[in-house]
Chain A
């Protein structure tokens, strides 16, 4: 991570903008509370996890999800933006998928919430496309040489989410238990389960 500009000064400037917008009646203090509550409680990786667990347990759903994720996830009625078109890519024994946005930090908000800092930092954005195998290894995921790696650079308005491989030994797990196993990092493709 790079050193960041003096946070106190950025904070003051953000507060100045907030005051100005409050004064002009564009926003209210309570709007900010609502945004915090939304991304802490309702819009986050728990949404993507529900989709993944469902795909693991319902092959017809999984088929539809991989064919047309945008339509298929409508039944969940998720809130939050950044999913005008969603593509779900499946990890298998032969293929591993990894999602990045090299130009900014595009990310499927409605399914995964707001991106973590590392996803927005220059290190990940620069390296994921050039040396994905090394990046994954550094992040604790050593893939066999035979596993093909496909990196998805979200350079337009299509958003990508990874369908991770179902973990071994979870054959008896309920849908709810499976949902609890799915992590944000696995749905970006920097971890397995």
Chain B
């Protein structure tokens, strides 16, 4: 989906602010959300990582930008648990009330929940550990080959960033076959396909605005690519 999460090349965000001596977690609730995620994975309630990433992508755009990282995780987990029938938003509201939170103050957080009507993932079983898979098909593209990326994305989860669509790059690495996120996020099964690292010149991506002597390497799945040669 052409969501706000697809940030590569977007302009206007300003300076990068580093925090000296940053702790692993700033507050206990962040570690709580991290731990909740691992517990939900262990119980098999997450589905798979692609569904989780897509749940985060479905956060309403202005909320996506104002949530912190673990706030986005929390929203993504709430969506998947609700869609999986494991809890309801009202369950959490009730607990928040018990902890002294007021409903009107929760409006912002609740409004930050991903919109449930848009492109809901259907649950699928977890595909076991890891995402690397063996396939008998040989890769379509070879090292050094020039390829063009798809011009369009689609409504669902994809790992083809917007800024590398309809661009020409060179295959610089082959990584074997991996679970295809575009399918796996939507209950379509793993459909493993070959994964490549494609190098793009800065000028190909950004035209005359590109910085000289820079390139970007992006890991792209075979269905995103077509050959530029003969």
Contact = CB atoms under 8 A, between A and B. Distances in A.
Interface residues of B, number: 88
Which of A10, A116, A139 has most B Cβ within 10 Å?
A10
A14 to B, nearest CB: 4
B214 interface: yes
A123 B16 contact: yes
A145 B220 CA distance: 29
Interface residues of A, number: 74
Nearest to A34: B35
B106 A9 contact: yes
Contacts of B25: 36, 39, 114
B214 A148 contact: yes
B43 A26 contact: yes
Contact of B7 (A122, A151, A156): A122
A15 B99 contact: yes
Nearest to B172: A150
A20 B91 contact: yes
Given A5-B71, A44-B24, A122 B65 contact: yes
B19 A118 contact: yes
Interface string A66-99: 0000000000000000001101000000000000
Given A27-B36, A121-B16, A102 B6 contact: yes
Contacts of B99: 12, 15-16, 19
Given A6-B109, A13-B109, A27-B36, A36 B13 contact: no
Contacts of A10: 29, 67-68, 71, 74, 109
Interface string B83-114: 00001000111011001110001101100100
A21 interface: yes
Nearest to B24: A39
12 contacts: A4-B68, A32-B31, A36-B24, A122-B7, A122-B13, A132-B211, A139-B16, A148-B214, A149-B211, A156-B181, A156-B219, A156-B221
Given A10-B68, A17-B92, 7 more contacts: A4-B71, A5-B71, A5-B112, A114-B34, A125-B7, A151-B215, A156-B181
Closest 7 CB pairs of A and B: A102-B8, A16-B95, A39-B24, A156-B219, A14-B29, A123-B13, A12-B101
Interface of A: 1-21, 26-27, 31-32, 35-36, 39-40, 44, 84-85, 87, 102-105, 113-114, 116-118, 120-127, 129-135, 138-139, 145-158, 185
